[in-house]
């Protein structure tokens, strides 16, 4: 967007007039659609209305919005040209500074420094907990099966215990 001095009343008036024009055009569009739509819907069947009304309204609004956008773009170009002409004649050093600076000199990329130590430490802790739980389960399961092999219970069938072998001890 070109530089516009804040004290320029002609530009502010032109922008306010453009805003009013767009509001009037929108009100006229709504009035015209609301006037023509009932007449078109009276002769249509309910299934046709359900099928075609949405796309029709969308296309009608899109066409109006594209036309209105072109008109606003042309009006803004005229206002910007007028503002640049009046701004460059009133203060030549200000216009020169703006033309040399360009838009990129005013924009700076923010730098973010994010410390990931806490996240890394929590991942390592979760990994250690998971591996520890795995080894603890293996150890407890092995001890349980080892105890069953040494001292099998007489009331439990050896075939129903998965870690107990069905072969007799060969001592």
Q: Write out pLDDT tens, residues 12-43.
A: 888 899 999 999 999 999 999 888 888 888 88
The predicted-structure confidence for 84-113, as pLDDT tens digits, reads as follows 777 655 555 655 655 555 555 556 666 778
Question: Domains in the chain: how many in total?
Answer: 2
Rounded to the nearest integer, the mean pLDDT of the chain is 77
pLDDT of residue 134: 92
- Are 87 and 140 members of one domain? no
pLDDT of residue 122: 95
125 within some domain: no
How far, in Å, CA of 158 to CA of 148, rounded? 9
Nearest to 146 by CA among 133, 161, 156: 161
pLDDT band at 154 (very low <50, low <70, confident <90, very high): low
> What is the arithmetic mean of pLDDT over 133-154?
74
118 within some domain: no
pLDDT value at 74 more than 80: yes
Read off the pTM: 0.45
pLDDT value at 155 more than 90: no
28 within some domain: yes
50 within some domain: yes
How far, in Å, CA of 12 to CA of 4, rounded? 10
DSSP 168: P
Domain limits at 159? 136-171
119 within some domain: no
52 within some domain: yes
83 within some domain: yes
One DSSP character per residue, 26-73 reads HHHHHHHHHHHHHHHHHTS-HHHHHHHHHHHHHHHHHHHHHHHHHHHH
DSSP 160: G
DSSP 30: H
- Are 89 and 161 members of one domain? no
- Are 92 and 143 members of one domain? no
């Amino acid at each position: 967007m070109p530089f516009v001095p804040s004290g320029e009343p002609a530009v502010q008036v032109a922008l306010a007039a453009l805003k009013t024009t767009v509001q009037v055009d929108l009100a006229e569009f709504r009035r015209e659609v609301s006037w023509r739509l009932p007449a078109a819907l009276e002769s249509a069947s309910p299934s046709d209305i359900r099928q075609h009304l949405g796309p029709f309204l969308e296309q009608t609004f899109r066409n109006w919005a594209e036309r209105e956008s072109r008109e606003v773009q042309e009006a803004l170009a005229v206002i910007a040209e007028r503002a640049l002409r009046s701004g460059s004649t009133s203060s030549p050093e200000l216009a020169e500074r703006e033309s040399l600076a360009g838009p990129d000199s005013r924009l700076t990329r923010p730098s973010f420094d994010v410390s990931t130590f806490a996240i890394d430490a929590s991942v390592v802790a979760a990994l250690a907990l998971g591996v520890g739980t795995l080894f603890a389960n293996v150890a407890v399961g092995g001890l349980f099966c080892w105890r069953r092999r040494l001292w099998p219970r007489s009331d439990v069938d050896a075939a129903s215990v998965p870690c107990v072998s069905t072969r007799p001890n060969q001592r």
